[in-house]
Amino acid sequence: MAKKRTTKKTTTSRAKTANAADRDVLTDRKIIALADDVAKRAFAGAEPRIEIPTRSRSNTNWNKKRGILEMGDNASERQLFNLNQAKQFMQTCLHASSVKELIAADKTLSLRGMFYKGLHTVAGTKEKTFAEQTESDGVLEDLEVALSSLREELHIFAKKAGTMVGNITLIDSGDEINCRKMGSGGYAIPSIVEPDVIQFGKCEAKFILHCEKNTVWSRFNEDRFWEKHNCILTEGGGQPPRGVRRMLRRLHDELKLPVICLLDCDPWGHYIYSVIKQGSISLAFESERLAIPDARFLGIRSKDYKACGLSDDVQIALTDNDIKRAKEIAAYPWFEGKKHWQKEIKIMLDSGFKMEVESLITKDISYVTETYVPERLKTKDWLD
Amino acid sequence: MARSSASKGSPAPVLDSPRMSSRGKKRTSKRPGKKAKASGTQTPARTKSTPGTAESMAAKQRDISVSEFFAKNRHLLGFDNPRKALLTAVKEAVDNALDACEEGGILPDITVVIEDLTDTNGNGSNKPVKGKKKAKAEPAPKKTPAKSSRYRITIVDNGPGIVKKQVEHIFGRLLYGSKFHRLKMSRGQQGIGISAAGMYGLITTGKPMMIQTRPKKNKPAHHIELAINTKTNRAEVTMDVETDDFPLARLRTLTPGTRKLSTQSQFLDAFVYPTGTSVTIELEGRYQKGRGSVDEFLELTAIANPHARITFVPPSKVSAPEDSGDDAEALLAPSASEGVPSSSSSGTGVSPASSADSTATTTELDGVIIFPRAINELPPETLEIQPHPKGLELGILLQMLKESAAEKPDLTLAQFLRNKLSRVNAPTASKLCKKIGLTARTRAADVDHATAEKLFAAFQDIDLPAPPTDCLAPIGVQQLLRGMFKGVRAEFFAASSRPAQVYRGRPFLIEAGIAFGGELRGDDTARVIRFANRVPLLFQQSGCSSFKAVTETKWKNYDLQQPRAGLPVGPIVIMLHMASVWVPFTSESKEAIADYDEIRKEMKLALMECGRKLGSYLRKRKKMKREGERRDVFERYIGEIAKAINAINDTDAKELYDVLLEQAREKTAVADQILNDEGKRIKAQNDDDDGVIIVDSEPVPSASANATPAPSASEGVSSSSSGVGVPPASSPPGRTGVSPVSPSSSPRKKKRIVKKKKRKSPKPNPGDQLFE
């Protein structure tokens, strides 16, 4: 019900629900607790440290029943008096104080904004607090897990990196977005798509077709594929950011739309599918609200080289790294038990080459939109 | 020819240390004549233009005096150029002085004064001739060549002095000595005789040599002036008087520095020189600093002879460089002339002889350079040994047989073998006789050339124990360390002394030392300093076995850079010493050690020992540096953290900062200790061996020494004590043979403390400004 209430608000600033306010209070409290712990330890003569759940494969568990990746209980300590961690400790403290400031001001910042927020020269030295944004991004993810708060709850968003178009109407911060009339560019999926920001309006679409890259998505959009097949077309610019995944998940959950992925036939594409389906290792703590265990992999498939009669030119030889990665993926527990996936990867490894979705263009400019995808959809020829 | 090869192969050069003989050792006064004949036959004068008859030629053929020969070929004796001549003269005198003191059982105290006599330029030139009453009679010196000038060198020692009637033989004749043929470790091998130096002086300046010697305490000294007659190889004594002027009072007032030191009884004090000898030679030379200079020679001599105190008064000015010139910067430069108090200048009324400060360092005071005594023990007296059969050459064997037979006509071969050779006992002797088909009773005189050759072959076949090694006196690890410590401004010193080995039947032993860091220059290749029987070798470095040993050692293993087949690069001085009864020099000039595999191998082993110590020190230093950086990192971020936490929960930032800073310091301190205690290598350095001195150049704030590090510092390194005080010093217990340091002695300014830890003094608290 909360979202309905917010839909009526049309303020330019971010709509604040009671829910969001509660959340902010909670986050604020967590940050203060973290700082208190540091101070308390320091005054007690103990080493200050921050406990951060480990974001690694070893601390990622495959919940077979729910079909998602979950974060384990392992946590590492970020210690001040450890040469490798001292700087990160300092950065974590800096970001924690920045977040507190953001919450107090009820404003959000981008990841890059946070980088600049925390950026200054360490007193008495020539060293900067952050050498580059990636350092800051990593620390923010740590802070998320340390506080077990989501990025949105920390008032931080990422840059927009996803596009959608289709038979649906959205309300974004009170503005009505008709995704049927987005021209050639499409609607840019924001980083924060929580119900207090985005609500769904009228939707005729029956499914979602998610493309890996913008180029492929543009082909579909230009051919008005979503119109012909009554669907929503999304694209995540490679590995889809959290906003896109959360949007897919919400569409899937709330509007019961199946998600079908059109990705490259290479380890990278396979892992994108894996992330959409069961969640990622680094963000395992978010799988709960991001993963879509029912997502399907439509293509392109290793068999398509023959099935579609593609020319030799589209083959891209697998690199050593690709082979290593493919084997790694095949060994993931969530791939391990799936025979057709094992077969798919094996064929790719045996043939020794990978293919991109764009390779279908060699057949015909619109082959992918007019023949390939419709046929596969019709025969439900996809991988689970 | 056998004879001439014998003299070549002999350890003792022809003109060696003649002074020895005066002290009742045996002497070989026959020698000169022999040699003279040998040289005489080589140089018959011949004119090519008119073919001569045997008779006309015979008229011109005459005996040539050895003195005359060397006067013409003075380069053979090390007087090839003015600069080297000055050095050689000083070197001969100093070598003799050290030998004399040691043989007399006296801790050497040697004073070297070089006066600048070039009187054309004003500035301190007209050296006070007031004390010099005699030399007036001599003819005026010839015009000084542009590139050299006149110097008067005076070397005074506190040795046993010389009996008056021997003076003229010792100083006035070439090839008059005691060490020519014996197998005994002595400096002698280096020199070519003080008489040659005197001869050089006579040739270049026409001035006679002046000798003062006081052989008996409280009795008048002799003052003798003599010139060598090169034709007769005999001295012409021009003056012979008794005097009380020893040591020369004139020298005490020479410069402000000497005057000052004299008032402190630090310079040529009569108490220190109750007996002794002073030699004065005027000669033409060049005084320059740098490689191959008198300064370097004395520096190195001081390193290899830590039991000697050497005072050096250099001339008032340095000659202009003759060519590109070695860069004069001595790595072993005396400490800044600002007058760091040292044993020599700080004690009031303390006799220098009594103060052997374990941490003595070379100092300079008003132009007078003092190489203090670092150890109060004379090196052990070395024994003379008989030649070992395996090291014998056929010619020498023949000569020995002949000489022995002459000495004692009825000497049997067995007796000869047992008595004249090392490690041959009665059974071995009869075995040898049997082997060559003679009875043990055969008289040595009856052994002919062919039999001797058989005997010589038999020597090579038979199994014999290695020659005795007690004839060698190593400098010793402690002494080496002290020696280097006083001469080299480094932060780390390591030394090793190898057990004696044998090459070609001759015992030898190798010692090595390393000085690293400190004020040494880091971008240069290593400096190698070489010694043979405690005498520095200054020339022909690259031809020397020790140089090869250094380049063949894998310095990279010890964290040093080393270009391929080259010297290591870094702030390092490498020292090698070979002690032997017979040092194999590559040439007559006695400047490089021949490259025998056995010798080079020992050298490398010794270097590796030192290298390992250096390596572990460097690794440790790296760790310490890492610790320092670690602390820096912590301290750097603490301010930021305090501010951030303050922004979140209002904790007092300053208080938090202080608490964290304290923790950071504790943390790194703890880490330091762990480092010291856990690292095995470091421990080894600490406990197992004493061949290391580590200097901490930074004064340690007493506050920061939290209990543990400091004691461990002093206990392992026995080589030097940690406080440097004013002599007379008293020592903490358990220090071996080190002169003591008074517990109350306050650290002096330039601290040279032996310490295991390098600790940073706490930085000013940046937090103070941070939170104002």
Judged by CB atoms closer than 8 Å, whether chains meet at A124 and B649 is answered as: no
In a domain, B327, yes or no: no
d(CA B693, CA B617): 10
Q: What token pair was written down for B569?
A: 């690069």
Chain A CB contacts of B647 under 8 Å are 97, 100-101
Examine the domain organization and report whether B213 and B78 are in the same domain: yes
Contact of B766 with chain A, judged by CB distance below 8 Å, is answered with yes
**DSSP of B328-383:** ---TTPPPPTTT---HHHHSSS--GGG---TT---EEETTEEEE------PPPPPP
List all residues of chain A from 3 to 62 with a beta carbon under 8 Å from chain B. Answer: 31-32, 34-36, 38-39, 42-43, 45, 47-48
* CATH number for the domain harbouring residue B210: 3.30.565.10
Judged by CB atoms closer than 8 Å, whether chains meet at A94 and B644 is answered as: yes
Quick one: average pLDDT of B139-154?
Answer: 63
Quick one: average pLDDT of B314-326?
Answer: 61
In a domain, B616, yes or no: no
Lowest mean pLDDT segment, chosen from A176-185, B468-477, B650-659: B468-477
In a domain, B196, yes or no: yes
Examine the domain organization and report whether B406 and B315 are in the same domain: no
Among the partner-chain residues A81, A96, A124, the one whose CB lies closest to the CB of B634 is A81
Chain B CB contacts of A45 under 8 Å are 659, 663
In a domain, B488, yes or no: no
What percent of chain B is predicted at pLDDT more than 70?
68
In a domain, B355, yes or no: no
Alpha carbon B300 to its chain's center? 5
Alpha helix positions (H), chain A: 2-7, 18-43, 86-105, 111-118, 133-147, 214-222, 225-229, 242-255, 267-278, 287-290, 304-307, 320-331, 333-336, 339-351, 367, 373-379
In a domain, B495, yes or no: no
Examine the domain organization and report whether B415 and B268 are in the same domain: no
Q: Is the bond preceding residue B728 a cis peptide, omega within 30 degrees? A: yes
Among the partner-chain residues A43, A86, A100, the one whose CB lies closest to the CB of B633 is A86
**pLDDT > 90? residue B577:** yes
Helix (H) or strand (E) holding A262: strand A259-262
In a domain, B603, yes or no: no
The pLDDT mean for chain B works out to: 71
Residue ending a domain, choose from B278, B304, B319: B319
Non-local (6+) Cβ contacts of B356 within 8 A are: B343, B372, B373, B374, B375, B376, B739
Residue B738, min C-alpha distance to chain A (Å): 43
Examine the domain organization and report whether B394 and B305 are in the same domain: no
pLDDT for res B153 = 93
Judged by CB atoms closer than 8 Å, whether chains meet at A42 and B660 is answered as: yes
Higher pLDDT, B129 or A166: A166
d(CA B166, CA B151): 27
Examine the domain organization and report whether B87 and B165 are in the same domain: yes
Examine the domain organization and report whether B175 and B303 are in the same domain: yes
Quick one: average pLDDT of B164-173?
Answer: 78
CB B160 within 8 A of CB B100: yes
Judged by CB atoms closer than 8 Å, whether chains meet at B640 and A90 is answered as: yes
Residues of A taking part in catalysis: 116
Q: What token pair was written down for A123?
A: 């007193």
Judged by CB atoms closer than 8 Å, whether chains meet at A124 and B770 is answered as: yes
Q: Report the residue of chain A nearest B628, measured CA to CA.
A: A83
Domain that residue B91 falls in? 2-42+55-121+150-319
B399-413 pLDDT, tens per residue?
888 888 888 888 888
Q: How many CB atoms are closer than 10 A to CB A71?
A: 24
pLDDT in tens, chain A (384 residues): 444 444 344 333 444 556 677 888 888 999 999 899 988 888 888 888 888 888 888 888 888 888 888 888 888 888 888 878 888 888 999 999 999 999 999 888 988 999 999 888 887 778 888 988 889 988 998 898 888 888 888 888 887 778 999 999 999 988 999 999 999 889 999 888 888 889 999 999 999 999 998 889 999 999 999 999 999 999 998 889 888 999 999 999 999 999 999 999 999 999 999 999 988 888 888 888 899 999 999 988 888 888 888 888 888 999 999 999 999 999 988 888 888 999 999 999 998 899 999 998 888 888 999 999 999 899 988 888
Examine the domain organization and report whether B214 and B299 are in the same domain: yes
Non-local (6+) Cβ contacts of A149 within 8 A are: A26, A27, A30
Judged by CB atoms closer than 8 Å, whether chains meet at A96 and B633 is answered as: no
CB B32 within 8 A of CB B174: yes
B500-532 pLDDT, tens per residue?
888 877 889 999 999 988 888 888 888 899 998
Q: Report the residue of chain B nearest A91, measured CA to CA.
A: B641
Examine the domain organization and report whether B313 and B405 are in the same domain: no
Q: Is the dihedral of CA B282, B284, B289, B290 positive or negative?
A: negative
Residue ending a domain, choose from B291, B319, B347: B319
HSE of B604 in the Cβ direction (CA atoms, 13 Å)? 15
Examine the domain organization and report whether B211 and B110 are in the same domain: yes
Higher pLDDT, B42 or B746: B42
Chain B CB contacts of A47 under 8 Å are 663, 667
Chain B CB contacts of A48 under 8 Å are 641, 660
Domains annotated on chain A, with CATH: 2-46+83-157 (1.10.10.10), 163-379 (3.40.1360.10)
In a domain, B744, yes or no: no
pLDDT for res A188 = 92
pLDDT for res B157 = 92
* CATH number for the domain harbouring residue B396: 1.10.8.50
pLDDT for res B112 = 93
Examine the domain organization and report whether B428 and B282 are in the same domain: no
B73-90 pLDDT, tens per residue?
777 777 888 888 888 889
**pLDDT > 50? residue B693:** yes
d(CA B620, CA B682): 7
Q: What are phi and psi of B369, to 5 degrees?
A: -95, 130
B698-745 pLDDT, tens per residue?
433 333 333 333 333 333 333 333 332 223 333 333 333 333 333 333
Confidence of residue B124 (pLDDT cuts 50, 70, 90): very low
B196-226 pLDDT, tens per residue?
888 888 888 888 899 999 988 888 888 999 8
| Packed helices B82-103 and B294-304: angle between N→C axes, nearest 10 degrees | 20
Contact of B460 with chain A, judged by CB distance below 8 Å, is answered with no
Contact of A315 with chain B, judged by CB distance below 8 Å, is answered with no
Among the partner-chain residues B649, B664, B766, the one whose CB lies closest to the CB of A124 is B766
Residue ending a domain, choose from B461, B484, B510: B461
Examine the domain organization and report whether B83 and B224 are in the same domain: yes
Total structural domains within chain B:
3
Judged by CB atoms closer than 8 Å, whether chains meet at B656 and A43 is answered as: yes
Q: What token pair was written down for B348?
A: 């009031």
**pLDDT > 80? residue B232:** no
Non-local (6+) Cβ contacts of B145 within 8 A are: B82, B284
Chain B CB contacts of A94 under 8 Å are 640, 644
**pLDDT > 70? residue B671:** no
Confidence of residue B147 (pLDDT cuts 50, 70, 90): low
Chain A CB contacts of B644 under 8 Å are 35, 90, 93-94, 96-97
pLDDT for res B178 = 59
Residue B74, phi-psi category: left (phi > 0), alpha (psi -120 to 50), beta (remainder): alpha
**pLDDT > 50? residue B141:** no
Contact of B633 with chain A, judged by CB distance below 8 Å, is answered with yes
Contact of B663 with chain A, judged by CB distance below 8 Å, is answered with yes
Examine the domain organization and report whether B165 and B259 are in the same domain: yes
